[in-house]
Chain A
Amino acid sequence: MKVSELYRGKAKIVWATEDPERVVMEFTEAATAFDGAKRGVIGGKGRCNATMSAILFRYLEGEGIPTHLVEQVAENELLCRRLRIVPLEVVVRNRAAGGISRRLGIAEGTPLARPVLEFSYKSDALGDPMVNDDHALALGLATPRELAQMREMALATNALLRRFLGVRGLELIDFKLEFGRDAAGQLVLGDEISPDTCRLWDIGTGEKLDKDRFRRDLGGVEEAYEEVLRRVQADARAAAGEPVLFDGVVKVTLKEGVLDPQGRTITGALHSLGYRGVEEVRVGKLIEVRLRAADHAEARRQLGEMGQRLLANPVLEDFAFTVEPHGSPTARADPAAAPGTEAGAAGADEAGPQAEAGAGTER
């Protein structure tokens, strides 16, 4: 498939193929920073970046953003449409980090009131200087229409990637895109989307999971790349906005003070079997509900509503429930004993700090 080398970059090699309209992008393990001043190798990076780029490009295509991806042809190779690259790098920032922090004196991590879009002129000799629209137009780097399109596509990509990565516990701090013109002259997203070109922080801990680990010698560089890939590959359903499967267990019990003839009869039977210590038996229902919902909170909300509207009769009964992602080890736990039990009506006080009281008397 690869015929001859067209171009060798810092971390990628572009190969010509038999098809003049197609190229192969080979992702290497070479890492550089500070315009090549710092060099190194990140094991597994080629595979991570190629695979992650392929997944994200496919996702963006599905959402209506044209990209150069044709298919992943090897673990570190993507077959792509050949583009005439626009010599502008487009950076989108959601929080301050890197260049903007240095230039404007904003502390790293400061949220930006709106996404900030920057253009840089692609020139290693000049150190990729930041330019504005007037520069780009004056130098003939792009047409006014292309600049507007790049801005629109970059912001749309930002919104999509934030959602996609966000549900996987990754916050998109900033990222760089490159665009090119295809054979028909249409603007298409090119290059790659990976921890080399994105700043990604763990949403829970703020841990950096991107090339900053290499730039700043933070250690765990390879692990961070593998972790990002693992999260991007996992749970494709959730990212596509498809509902996730949950297992709910609803326990319906008779309210305090409601006579339970069944319980009384069973008490008598247990006594006759010799269990003299039995003081009271009350019979309720255990209902298992398997449901699809957008996320855990939504599953919880729905089960609470089901309890109130149908599963329990608020005149006679209370309900409590647990809900866990399908297949998790605690999914079938006893709803009364498990932490995080939700309770309807009475009993909410005893159900633990995470319990939410369902207004079980509301109908």
Chain B
Amino acid sequence: MKQLFLERSNPRNQAFFLCLVSLILFVVDGKSTVLTPVRQAAGSLVEPIVWLAVLPRRIAEHGSSFFELRDQQRLELFEQRRSSEMLQARQLKFEALVSENNRLRALLGSSAKVSDLVLIAEVVGVSPDPDQHYVMVDKGLNDGAFVGQAVIDATGLVGQVAETTTNLSKVLLVTDQSHAVPVLSIRTASQLIVEGTGNRNLLSMRHVSESLDLKVGDLLVTSGLGQRFPSGYPVAEIARYQLAPGAAFAEVLAKPSSHLQTLDHVLLVFDSVEDLIPDVALKTVGPADG
């Protein structure tokens, strides 16, 4: 006879036990890095699931280019060639400037580098919780990505790599609540730390003393302090500066330079050529526009 109720152990005890295990795991994994190797290894195994999520978009892109009219494609190609020529021309001047800048810095004895190398990555997944600001990108350990690596896009700093598996990385955005980045105001060279607020359009600065010369519209770029981010990438523009009478610190809010709500491609920044994996370097890497 078919058994109606198949129970091996008391389900209530089982559920209670697993709840407890979950809580302990959550505290351990949330507060420490003990489980990072486990996450890395197991994460590599479940990568195919993330690829499954990219599949529809890949098919759509392929399909739309397949059905696009030939004339339209020709026009697009023409325009892209023109813009590429223009960028190349600008690049000529840029390279001269970089070498000149590096020479001058060498004369001054300063070690800051201007030239950086980048790797293009596609955003393949987003955080399901809109209050956790991270994205998954399609480059991982195999491509030389590492935890703490700076991530930029064409308009400014995006964030940093927080976790990597074989072929994927999790990128924490500058607007995440747990993110902070040392910056420098271009106009006055004042040093600040910009923190994420949990709002995709807003960054904040704490402990800004009233004597600091800041005003709305000032551009903040990475200062390179702390050695995590390379210097000189735009991070944000000051959107609000308010000094209440009697307050110890000014309230300063800034708007991120890059469009963090609509990322589709980002660039991973490498400090030196040696960090790059050779065949990757040959294929996809070019100098970044600093």
Decide if A and B are genuine partners. no
